[in-house]
Amino acid sequence: MSKKTKILITTFLLIGLLTTGLVLTNSTSALQQGLIFKFIPKTSTPKIIKNQIDPRLLNTLWKTINPYQAILDSYPSLQKTRTNLQNMTIEDKNSKKITEYEIVLKILENYDGSQKNDIKEKNIENTLSNYNFTKISDKAILINIAHSLWLENKKTLPWSLKDFSEEEIESLFFYTDDPVDYSTTGAQEPNTSLDKNLYGAEIINLKGYDEGIIKLFLLSKTLLKTNETLTIEEIVKWNMKNFFHAYYDYGWEVYGCAGGSFWAEDCVYTLESTFEQRVTGCHEPALIVELMLRSINIPAVTLSILGHGVVYLPTIDRYIHGDNVADFVTVPAKDLLLTKEEIENIIKLGPNGDYDSIIRAKHPSPYHFYTNIELHRKDSSLFLETDSVCTSIPEEDWKNIKNQVPEYNIQYDQANCKIFSDLVPIKTLTELSL
């Protein structure tokens, strides 16, 4: 116990003596003799018991000093999380078992989510290197919970962990190591279930997702709005105009994939490389949206439906298909928040269906200019273009499109049926987190 902590505890003990109205004679002498008091009601004669302290008082004092324990122990929504943490143990390097509850509090001793990513990662590594994790998901969950408690204690969000249900809390913390595609059964038949138990950060090749929450927080907090729904839309919109689906000029070979195949074993995907390249399929934007939302305490889970990445948002009961995020850039983000019925209609299309058709149906001709504009890359910059819009675009719609992507300075050359934009330099995750 540090000197500062000892001073704080002693101070609170003295305050407790005064507020309970106890008058103890020869208290100095008693303390000098190493006696510790057990407090009893004012109407009774104070009883001094050697080497004993009321555990309720000590626990109250400790929670005052450690607000994270107070949150874990007092929020009904965290009851299941707390119980699981207390029941699960991990061995340290000396083969001593310690509860995950204690490890979370240990992480928080040196954690500050507002610090630069490299500092946070170093502090966490210094703490967790003392323990033998057999699964990356165990490590990810503890980091996630620690960050979430830190953020809750800051009281800077318009929402709170205490307002979530246990299922929503599970959607905020859950991870899995299992690389199996959850959309298939043992017989490799497509699983069309929307069972919320089939979730997890299940991207097969993406590495380093265990620290994705803390890596993406500094970016995510710049996109905060006044409520969850608006914040979700803002984060979806940011991903739409920053990641694009692999195409002929920029495919999976940018990640070292042999033959440009997404499934090649030599592919190297990390959060950092994905932000550097901006090339995705459906899985990567689904996971990044999930991690960005979780980093600001909004529950989100990645489902794999018919082999495709889909994010489920339990607090608003909506789904986001990763292909829609990667394929559309000027469609209003709210249009990508799909109902259960809309996702079920996508499932009916089968494994190789046109998953973008449901979005295009919301903007039929002559409003297809919303869905025709594409995000591409040239060298180290991104730009927008399309050459299939020859109709007049209503002023209000063009204003909406420009407001969706202001950084691109998008322009329309109707005479040549072209929409084009400025080049916007690609920023790395580190640059976006400054």
Domain ranges (residues) in the chain: 3-65, 67-156, 167-362, 363-432
Residue length of the chain: 434
Write the Ramachandran bin of 272: left for phi over 0, alpha for psi from -120 to 50, otherwise beta: alpha
pLDDT tens-digit map of 36-85: 333 334 444 445 455 555 655 555 555 567 999 999 999 999 999 999 99
Q: How many C-beta atoms lie closer than 10 Å to residue 62's C-beta? A: 15
How far is Cα 336 from Cα 198, in angstroms, rounded to an integer?
A: 21
Alpha carbon 72 to its chain centroid, in Å, reads: 19
What pLDDT, on a 0 to 100 scale, did the predictor assign at position 413? 92
Amino acid identity of residue 372, one-letter, is: N
For the chain, the helix, strand and coil percentages under 3-state DSSP, each to the nearest 5: 50, 15, 40
Given this model, what pLDDT does residue 37 score?
30
Q: What is the pLDDT of residue 65?
A: 72
For the chain, counts of helices (H) and of strands (E): 19, 16
Reported confidence tier of residue 199, pLDDT bands at 50, 70, 90? very low
For the stretch 152-180, pLDDT in tens is 999 999 999 999 999 899 889 876 544 33
Mean pLDDT, residues 107-126 taken together: 94
pLDDT above 70 (res 113): yes
Q: Structure pTM?
A: 0.82
Higher-pLDDT residue of 319, 304: 319
Burial class (CB in 10 A: 0-12, 13-18, 19+), 353: middle
- Nearest-CA neighbor of 261 among 204, 201, 184? 204
